[in-house]
A = this chain, B = another copy of it.
C-alpha cells in the first residue's frame, strides 16, 4: 500500500507558477532593503521554548509549535521574526554594532485554525533599524515601503501613518491612559466593524463614557488632507506633551518624505490606525492597495522603545516593518498582474534528432552564454509533444532545428504566444541571431 502523498492541513506546496512570482517579490524586497543598507541575517527556525513564550500575545503562545527534542530540551518553532531579532540583538549587539539595520526573510509557523487565505506556515519579510531613537529611521521606513511598492510595479497604494503618542496623548487627556490597550484594540477594528461596533466594544472592554467614546470616534474618523488632519490633531492634544510630540513628529515625517521625492498623496495621516501590538510606541504605518481597499495592509510596522527587555538590560529602541508577502501575492494575483508562466527559462530547445543531441546541448550553452535561459527537451519525442510541453510551461519561444536546417545553416524560432516562426541563420557556433529572436519573442509577451 503506497503512503498517501499529502500535506498537513494549513500547509501548502508552492508549484512553480506560484513559487516564481513569490521569489520575484522576495528578490525585489531584498534589493530595496539592501539599497538602504539593511543587512541580511538568519536565525534558527527552532529556539529554546523560553525564548519564544510570553513574547507575543496569549494567542501566539497557544499557537506555538513546541516539543521536546532528542536531548530533552523544550524547543519551539519561531512564530515571528521579531522575537528572534530581539534575542539576536541582545546576543550579538557588540559584534554587529549599533545602529543595526537588518532584514530577515524567513518562514514562521503558527498553529492557527486554518481559514481561507491563512496558513500555518508563512514567510515574513521584515526590516528594522535597532539602536536609535532618531526619526530618520522612521522616515526611512516609510521611504522603503514606497520604494518597494514602486519596485513591485504597484502605482496605486497609500501608506497610512499614525503616531501612538498622539493616541496616548489624547487618551491621557480623556482620562483613559490606563485602558489604552483595550481602547486601541477596539479602535483598530474601525474599518472592520464600523463606528457602532467600536462603540459597543469600547463600552464593553474599556467602559468608556459616551463623551469619551465620542471623542475617540471623532479622532479616528478625522478625514481630509494631511494639513487639515494635523491641525485638528494639534487642537485635540493641545497641552499634553506626549500628544504634542507625536503631532510634531508626524509633521516632520510628512515633510521629510516629500523632500525625499515621494509623490503627494502617497503617504496619508490616518488617526484610526493603532496597530494592536502593545510594544509600538511611536510612528505606526499600514499600506493599502488602492485598487483593493478591503484587502488589508500589505506592509505594516512602527516604532518601539525597547525591543529586547526580556533578554538584556540594554535599552534597544527601534523601528521596522514587515512586508505581507502572501497577501501581496494574492493581491497581485487578484489584480491579474502575475504572468501565467511556469518556467524561468525563455525558450525550449526542441530535440529534433537524438543523434544530434550534443549539437543541441552546445547550442543551449551558446544561448546561455548570450544571456538567454533555455531548456533542452531531454528526449527526441514527436515535435507536437515537445511544443505542447513548451506551451504548458509558458516558454516564450521554441527553437526548432531539424537535420536539413542544421545542414543549411539556419534555425527556426517559434514565438509561442502567436504561433509565428522566424528563420534565422545559425552556423553551429554563433547563436547570436537565435538569442536575439528569443528576446524579441519574450519582450513581446
Give residues in A with beta carbon < 8 Å to B: 2-9, 11-16, 19-20, 22-23, 27, 30, 34-48, 50-51, 63, 65, 67-71, 73, 75, 77, 86-88, 90-92, 95-97, 99, 101-102, 107, 109, 111, 121, 129, 132, 134-137, 139-140, 143, 147, 255-256, 259-261, 308-313, 342-345, 348, 351, 357-359, 361-362, 364-366, 368, 373-379, 389, 392-393
Contact = CB atoms under 8 A, between A and B. Distances in A.
Given A46-B121, A47-B8, A311-B2, A13 B88 contact: yes
A14 B255 CA distance: 37
Contacts of A77: 45
B20 A343 contact: no
Given A6-B48, A134-B378, 7 more contacts: A6-B91, A7-B43, A8-B47, A13-B92, A65-B70, A129-B378, A261-B362
A243 to B, nearest CB: 23
Contacts of A374: 35-37
A259 B358 contact: yes
B36 A20 contact: no
A342 B4 CA distance: 46
A185 to B, nearest CB: 25
Given A368-B35, A378-B136, A392-B97, A344 B40 contact: yes
B44 A15 contact: no
Contact of A365 (B3, B30, B143, B366): B143
A260 B362 contact: yes
A37 B362 CA distance: 16
A22 B87 CA distance: 21
Given A2-B313, A87-B5, A373-B34, A20 B44 contact: no
B8 A46 contact: yes
Nearest to A30: B23
Contact of A256 (B87, B140, B358): B358
Given A109-B46, A345-B37, A97 B389 contact: yes
Contacts of A69: 8, 65, 111
Contacts of A147: 368
A343 B378 contact: no
Nearest to A132: B378
A350 to B, nearest CB: 12
A63 B70 CA distance: 8
Contacts of A9: 71
15 contacts: A6-B48, A14-B43, A15-B92, A19-B42, A23-B30, A35-B368, A35-B374, A36-B375, A37-B348, A37-B375, A67-B67, A99-B389, A107-B107, A256-B357, A259-B362
A254 B37 CA distance: 46
Contacts of A129: 378
Given A67-B67, A260-B358, A362-B260, A14 B37 contact: no
B44 A7 contact: yes
Nearest to A369: B261
A111 to B, nearest CB: 5
> Which of A12, A40, A41, A374 counts the most chain B CB atoms within 10 A?
A40
A13 B44 contact: yes
Contacts of A361: 136, 139-140, 143, 256, 259-260
A2 to B, nearest CB: 5
Given A102-B16, A140-B376, A361-B140, A96 B36 contact: no
Contact of A13 (B42, B109, B348): B42
A5 B261 contact: no
A360 to B, nearest CB: 8
Which 8 residue pairs of A and B lie closest in terms of their CB atoms, listed nearest first?
A37-B375, A67-B67, A16-B39, A37-B345, A34-B344, A11-B44, A14-B42, A259-B358
Contacts of A96: 15-16, 342
Nearest to A374: B37
A136 to B, nearest CB: 4
Contacts of A13: 41-44, 88, 91-92
A20 B3 contact: no
A248 to B, nearest CB: 14
